């Protein structure tokens, strides 16, 4: 049973979400919090939650601020529900590495499938090994800091400028490290190569953009950093198993 914290300021809409799906049947234990962001952080620090859901209906920017505060202290999965479809908000949410964003109108089927996806992530061996790594592996603070800097650079670059070319060489130069050394350290720490990490970040962002916006496929490709469409097509199909167009159709028919 996974413990979820549902945060919102609007009692009516938050209650509506609470009754939208059978949380217990899905394997979740739900705690609803209608308090201020400060008391949310207190509750978060006091109890051990598996993931967080933020009701964006009335929180809007406060919801994103809360998201930002949580990201500073934890990599816990975050699901945003009930906001509007403003691309800038979705972009900011992506920058904060939220796991999914379901804008209004939220329907139970969509919410359920998103919850099951996060549940899958939580139970995956990779997630567990990574979590354990973060908790138990004795990595020096310096190495840890370097890798965090690399990851932050990637996430910032992905959201700051269109078509920006992200290379490990450039990051290594900026941090005054050898490229090979950084590559090696990254794999040791993250259990995946720099390219695998970059690909994952790009594909997750592309999936969200295809699901939540009506951007053209070449626009999505550019937005996630692919100058050439062909490579985006190849990588997207390899990553998801279907091509971008089909993925959007399937996401739209859910």
Partner DNA sequence: TGGTGCGTCGACGTAGTTTC
Partner DNA sequence: GAAACTACGTCGACGCACCA
Contact positions vs DNA (CB under 7 A): 140, 142-143, 165, 167-170, 177-181, 183-184, 186-187, 193-196, 198-199, 216-218, 226-231, 233-235, 243-246
CA distance 155 to 68: 13
Q: Smallest gap, in angstroms, from Cβ of residue 242 to DNA?
A: 9
Q: Smallest gap, in angstroms, from Cβ of residue 228 to DNA?
A: 4
Nearer to DNA, 88 or 141 (CB): 141
Nearer to DNA, 61 or 228 (CB): 228
- The burial of 79, by beta-carbon neighbours within 10 Å (0-12 exposed, 13-18 middle, 19 or more buried), is given as buried
CA distance 77 to 120: 11
Nearer to DNA, 28 or 186 (CB): 186
Supply angle C-alpha 67, 72, 77, rounded to 5.
55
Nearer to DNA, 84 or 174 (CB): 174
The answer to whether residues 58 and 11 touch, using CB atoms and an 8 Å cutoff, is: no
State the pairing for strand pair 28-33/100-102.
unpaired
Give helix 141-160 / helix 194-212 axis angle, nearest 10°.
40
State the pairing for strand pair 78-81/28-33.
unpaired
Q: Smallest gap, in angstroms, from Cβ of residue 229 to DNA?
A: 5
Residue among 66, 135, 64 nearest 93 (CA): 64
Q: Smallest gap, in angstroms, from Cβ of residue 21 to DNA?
A: 33
Nearer to DNA, 88 or 142 (CB): 142
Q: The tokens 């934890």 sit on which residue?
A: 74
Nearer to DNA, 89 or 198 (CB): 198
CA distance 60 to 144: 33
Q: Smallest gap, in angstroms, from Cβ of residue 90 to DNA?
A: 19
Q: Smallest gap, in angstroms, from Cβ of residue 129 to DNA?
A: 16
């Amino acid at each position: 049973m996974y413990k979820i914290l549902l945060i919102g300021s609007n009692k009516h809409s938050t209650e509506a979400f609470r009754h939208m799906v059978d949380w217990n049947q899905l394997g979740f234990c739900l705690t609803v919090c209608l308090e201020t962001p400060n008391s949310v952080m207190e509750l978060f620090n006091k109890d051990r939650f598996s993931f967080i859901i933020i009701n964006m209906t009335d929180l809007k920017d406060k919801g994103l601020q809360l998201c930002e505060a949580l990201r500073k202290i934890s990599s816990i999965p975050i699901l945003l529900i009930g906001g509007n479809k403003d691309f800038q908000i979705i972009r900011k949410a992506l920058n904060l590495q939220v796991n999914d964003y379901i804008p209004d109108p939220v329907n139970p089927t969509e919410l359920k499938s998103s919850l099951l996806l996060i549940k899958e992530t939580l139970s995956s061996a990779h997630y567990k090994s990574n979590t354990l790594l973060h908790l138990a592996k004795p990595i020096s603070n310096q190495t840890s800091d370097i890798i965090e800097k690399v990851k932050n650079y990637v996430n910032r670059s992905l959201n700051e400028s269109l078509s920006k070319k992200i290379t490990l060489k450039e990051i290594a130069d900026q941090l005054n490290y050898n490229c090979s050394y950084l590559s090696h350290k990254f794999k040791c720490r993250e259990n995946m190569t720099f390219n695998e990490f970059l690909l994952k970040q790009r594909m997750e962002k592309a999936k969200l953009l295809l699901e939540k916006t009506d951007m053209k496929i070449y626009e999505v490709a550019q937005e996630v950093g692919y100058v050439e469409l062909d490579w985006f097509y190849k990588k997207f199909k390899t990553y998801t198993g279907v091509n971008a167009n089909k993925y959007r159709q399937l996401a739209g028919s859910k």
